[in-house]
Structures are given as structure tokens and as C-alpha cells.
């Protein structure tokens, strides 16, 4: 079986490398001077040229990205033992399949793009997830949780309400373990975890920039902190339908359960490790600090990449909060939570490969009408188009740059040539349906796949570690997200976009 899998990976790599080899001759004279400029430390020129890469890269350069997604989708099905022990190697293989020829052809430009995505995006991304994972793992909800439809719905509803204020990741990590313990005695519980992903890990993060990264990007570009409350009607409709569907489904399965197997904890509901709520507030404060002072504290040059000083301070705050949690929380509390490092390790390894292979896809998307996806960018005209285009890409790509791409396309569409500081205040007043469509699409449709939003994968990993047989990548889509979410998104389109 291992040989078959190795051959499969090799064939996929060759399928990618062959056309890349054809391009080497064409790229031989490509921008050597600008590449040398990067090596000499000219980040402004590198950033400018990085924008041009999107217009030069063909769509097939995203094949390694497709390869790693297929690996995540298929290997757990066809070779679960191999995947469990070797998924870091598979992730690294796809990353190298892109990075090696990319560096060979584009040299300094490629090195800049790789350093940029890891320094500016991946490392802060992992620090945020790691800190929230560690801190929430130190909070233990103890009490008589019975796993009834009413109790489950209440937990999911509380998480949905919290997600806009402590982030979808924070709310997910805080409540997924109590939900799993509440349903430990039940046979039918996969659907509960899936609806938790729909609502807590995604749609719940709609109302503030703290909820989800794309909304935070909008905040950094001048969208007021509470502007996203304009999407409250869309959120309430989506949450209302999903909660009704979930309660009906869970009630149906609950009637089939053997109640004699029900187990509860002794005593009333209480919380241990409460100090971690203060540390969670510290994380939120760090994120807010970086947003407020993003452009006020200058930047630091790291290997030719500009990183805002406010972001570095934020990352330091998050690391300190996490280490304080490890130091101040009793080991017995984490043991009661069945805390382990595997879920965050899995996310770190897989997303390290995803962030590498996603470089050409994001570059092409950012190139707009000059890139290989020009047909898609040109086709986006109405709010409904923006909702579905942003959502579809956010289901598989990083929803933050996808949001920013269509946000900028709206500025160009309605206020061409106008400075951003002038255009954004007009956009948020005169074109509300357009910006609402991009915002809702980026946040809502992250629930369509496991990789649509980071907490999706973490919740899946924690659930599987607890013995819950979560559906495969495609199983999640075809059994749950497509038949349940897509009709709801169609209703939202007809009502609002």
C-alpha cells in the first residue's frame, strides 16, 4: 500500500513538474534584475513585482494545491493508517513540489513570496490558533450535561453568540470539548459536530472584526468596527434555519438512543480553570491592539519582508498569554479535558503545506483581470455574484485574501482612481449590499469544507481524537454542507442579494 501511495504522489508531482519544465525556457530571461533586487533587500520592489507574478503564472501552477487537498480528502479513506503516521511528509512533499521549481524559475521573487506568506500570514495564523487552543484547553466545564437536543442546541447557540466576540476559533476551542463530553454516551452525534462547525466555527463570527479574519482585514482598511452588524439580518436567517434543522434532526436521532447508556457528571455545572477567561481577554486585547495601531508603529524588516510592529507585539502578547495558561492551569484540569497536542500539530503541519501551495492561486486571484482567473473577476457584477464568488473561493482558499480581492474590486468598480481613505467611507454608505455580500460570502461559506476556515479542521481533529468518526473531506461536503448549506445560501441570495 505504501508503494502505491508513493507512486501516486510521484505521478501527481510529475504531472505538475512537466509543464513547469516547459516554462523554464520561457522564463529564463524573466526579471533577473528584480530578483537580484530582492536578494539585496528591496521589499517594496519585491512586493510590487510579486503583484505581477499573478499575471504571469498559469492556472496549472496551482496543481500542488489541488494535490494536497485531494490528499487530505482521499488518504484518510483509502489509507487511514498511512495518513495518520505520514501526513506531515505528504504535506511537505506537495509543498516541495511547488517550491523547488518556483524558486528555480523565479529565484528572488519566489523567495520573497514564500517568506512573505510564512512571515506575514502563516506564523501569526499558527500563533493565534495555538494560543486559543492552549488557553481554551485549560477551561473545564463540569456538571450535568446530558446531551439532549435542548442542551446541545443551547451549547451551539451560546458558541454562535460568542464567536463574533472571541473569534470563531476561540468559541470553537472553548465549547467543543464540553459538547463532546455531553454526547459521549450517544451513538448518533456526528451531525452535532457538523452543525457546531457550521454555526460556531463559521457563521457565528459575522458581527465584528474579531469574529473572522476577513472582517478584521476590512476593519484595517477603514470599515468601522460595528459596520458588520448590517449583516445581522442575514446571520439571523441563516442561524434560525440551521438551528431549526439541527433541533429537528437531533430530536429524531435522540429518540433512537439507548437512554440506559446516558452518563452524567456529579454536581451542578461549574467551571474550573477560570483564570483562562482573563487570558482569553488578553488575546482579544492583543488582536484589537494590532488593529488600532496597525499603521501607527511602523514596521520591521524581516528577511526583506515588512511586518508591522503592532503585529509583532500582538504575537508576543498571544505567546505570553498561552505560556501563562500552561503555567497557571492545574494539570488535572487539562487531563479532565483530555487535552493533547495532536490537533494543533495536525493543523500546523497540513496548513504549512497549504500555505506554500496556495501561493500561485492567491497571486492569480490578486491579479484580477490580468490573471488566469480574469474570466471569473469580469463575471462578478451584482451583489449575488459577489456573494457566491467570494463564498466559493473562500470554501477552498484562504477567505481573508479572497475578501480583500473582491473588496478592492468594488472600490475599483465604483470609485476608480479615488484614494482608499475617501472611497471606503462612500462604499460602506452607498453600496451596502455589495460589501455585505462579500462579507457574508467570506464568513458563511467557510463552512462548506473542512479547510474553509481553520477551526473547522481543529474541531474535526478533536472530535476524531475523542473517537467520533467524522465524515471524510468529500463526505462532509456531499452529506452535509451541500444539501444543508447551499439551499440556505440560495434563500439568503433571494432575500438579501
Contact between 348 and 126 (Cβ < 8 Å): yes
Same domain, residue pair 91 and 205? no
The pLDDT score that the predictor gives to residue 441 is 94
- Beta pairing class for 299-302 and 270-272: unpaired
Same domain, residue pair 412 and 462? yes
Same domain, residue pair 170 and 51? no
Same domain, residue pair 36 and 177? no
Q: Is residue 122 part of a domain?
A: no
Q: Which of 108, 138, 169 is the last residue of a domain?
A: 108
Same domain, residue pair 135 and 102? no
Q: Is residue 123 part of a domain?
A: no
Q: Per-residue pLDDT tens for 58-116?
A: 888 888 988 887 888 788 777 878 888 888 999 999 999 999 989 988 888 889 889 98
Residue 1 pLDDT greater than 70, yes or no:
no
Q: Is residue 96 part of a domain?
A: yes
Count up the domains in the chain and report the number: 2
Q: Is residue 121 part of a domain?
A: no
Percentage of the residues of the chain whose pLDDT score is greater than 70: 84
Give the least confident one: 232-236, 242-246, 373-377.
Answer: 373-377
Same domain, residue pair 277 and 157? yes
Same domain, residue pair 160 and 191? yes
pLDDT level of residue 171 (50, 70, 90 thresholds): confident
142 - beta bridge partners?
270
Same domain, residue pair 155 and 300? yes
d(CA 177, CA 181): 6
Q: Per-residue pLDDT tens for 110-132?
A: 898 899 888 887 888 788 878 88
Q: Which residues of 322-351 are buried (b: 16+ CB within 10 A; e: fewer)?
A: bebbeeebeeebbebbebeeebbebbbbbb
Same domain, residue pair 303 and 426? yes
The pLDDT score that the predictor gives to residue 266 is 52
Same domain, residue pair 73 and 188? no
**Distance from CA of residue 465 to its chain's centroid?**
21
Q: Is residue 168 part of a domain?
A: yes
Separation of first and last alpha carbons in the chain: 49
Q: Is residue 114 part of a domain?
A: no
The pLDDT score that the predictor gives to residue 260 is 67
Q: pTM here?
A: 0.74
Q: Is residue 125 part of a domain?
A: no
Residue 197 pLDDT greater than 50, yes or no:
yes
Contact between 278 and 321 (Cβ < 8 Å): no
Q: Per-residue pLDDT tens for 400-451?
A: 667 877 787 777 677 766 776 787 888 888 888 999 999 999 999 999 998 7
Instruction: Label each residue of the chain as H, E or C.
Output: CHHHHHHHHHHHHHHHHHHHHHHHHHHCCCCHHHHHHHHCCCHHHHHHHHHHHHHHCCHHHHHHHHHHHHHHHHHHHHCHHHHHHHHHHHHHHHHHHHHHHHHHHHHHHHHHHHHHHHHHHHHHHHHHHHHHHHHHCCCEEECCCCCCHHHHHHHHHHHHHHHHHHHHHHHHHHHHHHHHHHCCCCCCCHHHHHHHHHHCCCHHHHCCCCCCHHHHHHHHCCCCCCHHHHHHHHHHHHHHHHHHHHHHHHHHHHHHCCHHHCCCCCCCCEEECCHHHHHHHHHHHHHHHHHHCCCCCCEEEECCEEEEHHHHHHHHHHHHHHHHHHHHCCHHHHHHCCCCCHHHHHHHHHHHHHHHHCHHHHHHHHCHHHCCCHHHHHHCCCHHHHHHHHHHHHCCCCHHHHHHHHHHHHHHHHCCCCCHHHHHHHHHHHCHHHHHHHHHHHHHHHHHCCCCCHHHHHHHHHHHHCCCCCCCHHHHHHHHHHHHHHHHHHHHHHHHC
Q: Is residue 120 part of a domain?
A: no
d(CA 74, CA 77): 5
Same domain, residue pair 157 and 35? no
Q: Which residues constitute the domain of residue 38?
A: 2-23+30-108
Q: Which of 44, 74, 108 is the last residue of a domain?
A: 108
Q: Per-residue pLDDT tens for 347-372?
A: 888 888 988 988 887 777 777 677 77
The pLDDT score that the predictor gives to residue 262 is 66
Q: Which of 40, 73, 108 is the last residue of a domain?
A: 108
Same domain, residue pair 101 and 155? no
Amino acid at each position: 500500500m505504501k508503494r502505491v501511495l508513493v507512486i501516486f504522489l510521484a505521478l501527481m508531482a510529475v504531472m505538475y513538474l512537466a509543464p513547469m519544465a516547459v516554462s523554464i525556457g520561457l522564463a529564463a530571461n524573466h526579471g533577473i534584475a528584480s530578483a537580484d533586487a530582492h536578494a539585496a533587500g528591496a521589499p517594496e520592489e519585491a512586493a510590487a513585482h510579486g503583484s505581477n507574478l499573478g499575471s504571469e503564472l498559469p492556472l496549472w501552477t496551482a496543481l500542488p494545491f489541488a494535490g494536497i487537498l485531494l490528499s487530505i480528502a482521499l488518504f484518510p479513506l483509502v489509507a487511514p493508517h498511512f495518513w495518520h503516521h505520514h501526513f506531515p511528509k505528504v504535506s511537505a512533499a506537495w509543498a516541495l513540489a511547488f517550491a523547488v521549481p518556483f524558486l528555480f524559475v523565479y529565484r528572488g521573487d519566489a523567495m520573497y513570496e514564500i517568506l512573505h506568506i510564512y512571515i506575514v500570514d502563516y506564523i501569526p495564523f499558527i500563533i493565534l490558533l495555538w494560543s486559543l487552543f492552549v488557553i481554551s484547553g485549560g477551561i473545564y466545564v463540569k456538571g450535568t450535561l446530558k446531551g439532549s437536543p435542548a442542551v446541545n442546541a443551547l451549547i451551539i447557540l451560546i458558541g454562535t453568540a460568542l464567536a463574533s466576540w472571541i473569534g470563531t476559533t476561540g468559541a470553537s476551542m472553548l465549547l467543543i470539548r464540553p459538547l463532546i463530553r455531553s454526547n459521549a454516551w450517544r451513538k448518533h452525534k456526528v451531525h452535532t459536530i457538523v452543525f457546531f462547525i457550521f454555526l460556531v466555527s463559521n457563521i457565528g463570527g459575522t458581527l465584528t472584526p474579531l469574529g473572522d479574519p476577513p472582517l478584521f482585514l476590512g476593519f484595517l482598511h477603514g470599515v468601522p468596527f460595528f459596520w458588520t452588524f448590517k449583516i445581522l439580518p442575514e446571520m439571523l436567517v441563516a442561524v434560525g434555519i440551521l438551528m431549526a434543522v439541527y433541533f429537528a434532526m437531533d430530536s429524531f436521532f435522540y429518540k433512537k438512543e439507548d437512554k440506559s447508556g446516558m452518563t452524567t457528571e456529579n454536581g451542578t455545572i461549574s467551571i474550573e480553570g477560570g483564570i483562562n477567561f482573563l487570558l482569553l481577554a488578553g488575546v482579544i486585547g492583543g488582536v484589537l491592539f494590532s488593529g488600532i495601531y496597525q499603521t501607527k508603529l511602523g514596521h520591521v524588516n524581516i528577511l526583506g519582508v515588512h511586518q508591522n510592529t503592532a503585529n509583532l507585539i500582538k504575537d508576543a502578547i498571544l505567546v505570553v498569554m498561552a505560556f501563562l495558561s500552561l503555567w497557571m492551569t492545574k494539570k488535572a484540569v487539562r487531563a479532565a479535558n483530555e487535552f493533547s497536542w495532536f490537533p494543533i500539530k495536525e493543523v500546523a503541519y497540513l496548513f504549512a503545506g497549504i500555505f506554500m501551495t496556495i501561493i500561485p492561486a492567491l497571486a492569480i486571484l490578486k491579479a484580477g483581470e490580468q490573471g488566469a482567473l480574469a474570466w471569473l473577476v469580469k463575471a462578478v457584477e451584482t451583489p449575488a455574484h459577489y456573494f457566491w464568488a467570494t463564498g466559493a473561493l473562500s470554501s477552498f482558499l484562504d477567505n481573508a485574501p479572497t475578501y480583500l480581492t473582491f473588496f478592492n474590486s468594488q472600490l475599483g468598480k465604483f470609485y476608480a482612481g479615488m484614494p482608499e481613505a475617501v472611497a471606503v467611507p462612500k462604499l460602506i454608505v452607498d453600496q451596502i449590499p455589495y460589501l455585505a455580500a462579500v462579507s457574508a460570502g467570506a464568513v458563511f461559506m467557510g463552512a462548506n469544507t473542512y479547510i474553509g476556515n481553520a477551526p473547522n479542521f481543529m474541531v474535526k481533529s478533536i472530535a476524531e481524537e475523542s473517537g467520533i468518526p467524522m465524515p471524510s473531506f468529500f463526505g462532509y461536503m456531499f452529506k452535509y454542507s451541500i444539501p444543508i448549506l447551499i439551499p440556505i445560501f440560495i434563500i439568503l441570495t433571494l432575500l438579501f442579494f
